[in-house]
Chains A and B, each alone.
Chain A
């Protein structure tokens, strides 16, 4: 290298370029990670195909796929916004990635914005894939797409808040274990593939307040039953979103 190569010429890149670059990198890291793909793509796809084809769980009247598709879409949102994001961010914190980026020109809120973009891009890919598969299985959705979009966005906000709260407060290994455990518990007890009625009146009432139940129930109301805007479920998701994001903002530690 010649003299003057390193002569200082500092400057931050334009903010949109920084956020776009960060979001692209985060998305690439996610798509390259086998465990993440298992969680976000393979498991939801398998559940949708398996339970639609084989009559294991009593999904009530109508085609199984009409019951399952909304639940699996809810699961896809949870797997990316909550489980995947919590685990990835937990290890980024552990390995000093968050710390190193915190001294780069990218502001901290810019990093969080990039993470959100990355989650949304992944969700778009998941929803596209699952929708195609569901149609192939004979799915006939109804309802207002705007209500569906609103549910997915509020669900993403709630799960992102919970995932970041976990990643920013627990050790990485604890986050890995807890995020997977929660994923499993909510998969079973959150109305994804097992109707909440199976848990009795009290159980149904309590479990119905979980964000996964609100999301799967809301999506099912719209997509399966063609209802209007499911305000109660949106309300539950909004409360979770506000509480979790506020807690994450308050307690998140960068290193």
Chain B
């Protein structure tokens, strides 16, 4: 592991009564944006809350910025920013009032007015927190997580329930944080969010990390990509296979319908079309299917919806 690691989780186990929420989880997050992706109940929040110092591991070790979140809590807390999944604000407090308060707990906070402006919280005016819309409440929680100029920000489902504009505003802020050298750990069950924002994605299911890598790596490794074309029936698939890279497979699925499975890139497409040219085949309806993170995710975690 590099010295850059902002979070190191080793063999983490966390039980609630008879239920094992996290079951021997290993996770190393480097500087940058790491998305923790998983279905509901996978153990995302428990893992993140253990990193934030809210939960004590039943076994295993957790280090955040090199510190033990429970034992070294006092040293760690000023260096991290936390956005809870919900709540965290006095029901009678106004948005700017609460944000200003959290800023006062820090030595070098951001300019509160600029942050209020940036996240469109200015329109909240004198409205108390309990009367804000869900989106406004989410953005306030996000602002509270970053106002103290932390090194590392934990965002637990930061865009849950947001409309598209608010979602993009949140994404833009995460990108700006990253550009300015703030590391971000975010949980989500939106694949596109992970794909858009993350340098690294950890897919969690059943309390364990079942896949970890950059979105590109996961899309390559988790699921094969496919190239399909149609031509006349009975082409020499063996000859096609010889022309393809070693790790590809090719088959005639139904008469005249061919499928190549492997790493689909421009080179592979060129290889297939030039093989067709050499054999006098006009490939009709040639199509490529490159897997998205969503395919990988569903393949790994099972297709049924869990709640």
Contact = CB atoms under 8 A, between A and B. Distances in A.
A202 interface: no
A62 to B, nearest CB: 42
Given A12-B107, A102-B54, A105-B106, A6 B90 contact: no
B93 A29 contact: yes
B104 A6 contact: no
B162 interface: no
Interface in A103-118: 103-107
A211 B74 CA distance: 36
Contacts of A13: 104-107
B88 A8 contact: no
Contact of A10 (B53, B78, B90, B97): B78
B62 interface: no
Task: Tell me whether chain B's interface is mostly helix, strand or loop, or mixed.
Answer: loop
Contacts of A255: 54
B203 interface: no
A199 interface: no
B185 to A, nearest CB: 13
A174 B268 CA distance: 67
Interface string B153-192: 0000000000000000000000011011110000000000
B279 interface: no
Contacts of A91: 91
A11 B78 contact: yes
Interface band, chain B:
35 or more
A133 interface: no
Given A6-B180, A96-B86, A99-B84, A12 B91 contact: no
B77 interface: yes
A105 B181 contact: no
B260 interface: no
Residue among A13, A17, A29, A91 facing the most chain B CB atoms (10 A cut-off)? A13
B89 A100 contact: yes
B105 A96 contact: no
B296 interface: no
A110 to B, nearest CB: 9
A10 B79 contact: yes
Contacts of B97: 25, 28
Given A6-B177, A7-B180, A12-B106, A1 B118 contact: yes
Contacts of B227: none
Contacts of B102: 104
B54 A103 contact: yes
Contacts of B177: 6
B181 A8 contact: yes
Given A6-B177, A7-B149, A91-B91, A12 B78 contact: yes
A106 B103 CA distance: 11
Contacts of A97: 87-90
Contacts of B149: 6-10
Given A10-B150, A99-B84, A92 B90 contact: yes
Nearest to B114: A1
Contacts of B74: 107
A145 interface: no
B93 A95 contact: no
Given A5-B176, A13-B106, A95-B88, A103 B52 contact: yes
Contacts of B179: 3
Contacts of B240: none
Nearest to A7: B180
A24 to B, nearest CB: 9
A167 to B, nearest CB: 14
A9 B177 CA distance: 13
B106 A6 contact: no
Contacts of B93: 25, 29
B29 interface: no
A182 B102 CA distance: 34
B250 interface: no
Given A25-B93, A103-B52, A103-B80, 11 more contacts: A1-B114, A1-B118, A6-B181, A7-B180, A8-B182, A12-B77, A12-B106, A97-B88, A97-B89, A99-B84, A100-B144
24 contacts: A1-B114, A3-B179, A6-B181, A6-B182, A8-B151, A10-B78, A10-B79, A10-B150, A11-B108, A18-B104, A18-B105, A21-B101, A22-B101, A22-B105, A96-B87, A97-B88, A97-B90, A102-B54, A103-B52, A103-B53, A103-B54, A103-B77, A105-B105, A107-B74
Interface of B: 52-54, 74, 77-80, 82, 84, 86-93, 97, 101-102, 104-108, 110, 114, 118, 144, 146, 148-151, 176-177, 179-182
